[in-house]
Structure 1
Amino acid sequence: MLRDARVNGLPVQVLELRSELPTEELLAYFKRDWRRYSSVAPLETEQQHWRKLTLQQGPVQVVVQIERDGRSGGSRALLSQMNFRDVQRDYIPRDLPSLAPLHVTQVSDTRDGPKRSRLVQMGGDASFEITQQRLRQYWSRAGWRAVFERSANEQRQWLASFDRGPASVDIVLTQAGPREPLALTINLLEVEP
């Protein structure tokens, strides 16, 4: 369950459901139930093994994705709600190092009690070694202590963790080959006062 999250500045809530009903019956249930909220029928699509219904009501979009649950014989569903009215326009974190020419592809902010997680994914054409050096220097100069670091240069992969008090940051930097784009994931965990 994901209650308080933002993905690229968009407020999102996700709930997982398990049902004894087969996929078709659960899909029919949501179609009937959602008629109370809109005169327009939800959009129905299929993607691989997921059946999906999407309903837009004002600035709120509700989506249910349903698949067969092989373990129980019933179905499993993900119900998500997005509120476009409360979108945050400046969702790209300003407290990251300058890593041009990499660009942010996704930012996910979540809360779990007092813990806040900001997961930033970046990609682009840049030097693996220079990006690794910039990241190491940035976190060290900002007062973070390196607690874990592992490189696999033959695979062009670098894993690192830094901490500062109750906050920590985990970094995964990968590159499939010398001429391939970089993929960078930074996960910042903080405890809110």
Structure 2
Amino acid sequence: MRQARRAAETALGIWLLAGAGAAAAGAAWLPLSLPPRTESTWVLRDARVNGLPMQVLELRSQLSADELLAYFKRDWRRYGGSVAPLESEQGPWRKLTLQQDPLQLVVQVEKDGSGGSRALLSQMNYRDAQRDYVPRNLPVLTPLQVTQVSETRDGPRRSQLVQLGGEASFEIIQQRLRQHWSRAGWRAVFDRAAPGQRQWLASFDKGTSSVDIVLTQAGPREPLALTLNLLEGEP
């Protein structure tokens, strides 16, 4: 369950920062190069967020934010095109965007407090975007609305992280979720409510499929937040 929560936070953060990323099979990604004194970690290798294919790298660099942005301005010239990268700012992040149809490259950079910088480097494939990206096996959870669906693949393992929110009864949504998977023959492997809090953590499985659930509400009159992590295939 801890992994599901971390995945939810990561996916939400990327969506808020990048403004947009189910596995992008066959996506023709641009080759990316990195500046010196810079380390990278994959956040999303081949994924979809709300139907949009996306790759995301997290960068940790000894270069300053100015140096890092200057590097990508120079490096992206190799892709050609008549449109120069567009610079913008979003809170503490400085953003550089290049449109290379059907792909869009985005790097978002901020200072790290020690003279270096950190960044998110992403590219998105708009030609391969899917409209019907909400999983069809979800229970009816009206009036909650789906706010984000992030899909990734790791070999035969497929993960769909679904986030929902809205005004609804904590108890009714909890009951619907329990009944939906129990009636479909899924086994409850974890079911725990935090004492004195409106928080419920649960996990169900069936064969090689499983679902992790995080349901929270700050107070009786506050909106609900629901995260479902649907996994299919052998781990």
TM-score normalised by L of structure 1: 0.92
Q: Does 1:12 align with 2:65?
A: no
| One-letter code aligned to 1:86 | D
Matched, 1:45 2:88: yes
* Map 1:1-193 → 2, pairs under 5 A: 1=42, 2-36=44-78, 37-70=80-113, 73-152=115-194, 154-191=196-233
Kept after mapping to 1: 8 A contact 2:208/2:234: no
Shift of 1:155: 1.9
In structure 1, C-alpha distance between the alignment counterparts of 2:223 and 2:111, rounded to whole Å: 36
Greater strand proportion: 1
The C-alpha deviation readout for 1:112-161, integer Å capped at 9, x for no partner, is 22221100011111111111001001011111111111112632111101
Q: Is the 8 A contact 2:45 2:55 kept in 1?
A: yes
Q: Secondary structure at the match of 2:162?
A: strand
Identity %: 79
Matched position secondary structure for 1:35: helix
* Matched residue count: 192
Deviation at 1:61, TM superposition (A): 0.9
Q: Which moved more, 1:142-151 or 1:14-23?
A: 14-23
Query: Quick check: which one's helix share is greater?
Result: 2
CA RMSD of aligned residues (A): 1.7
Which 10-residue stretch deviates more, 99-108 or 48-57?
48-57
* Equivalent pair of 1:116/1:192 in contact (CA under 8 Å): no
Q: TM-score, normalised by structure 2?
A: 0.76
Please give the secondary structure, in 1, of the residue aligned with 2:72.
Answer: helix
Once the two structures are TM-superposed, the CA of residue 111 in structure 1 deviates from its matched residue by 1.2
Q: Distance in 2 between matches of 1:153 and 1:192?
A: 34
Gap runs ≥5 in structure 1: none
Structure 2 unmatched ranges of 5 or more: 1-41
Shift of 1:45: 1.6
Distance in 2 of aligned mates of 1:158 and 1:18: 35
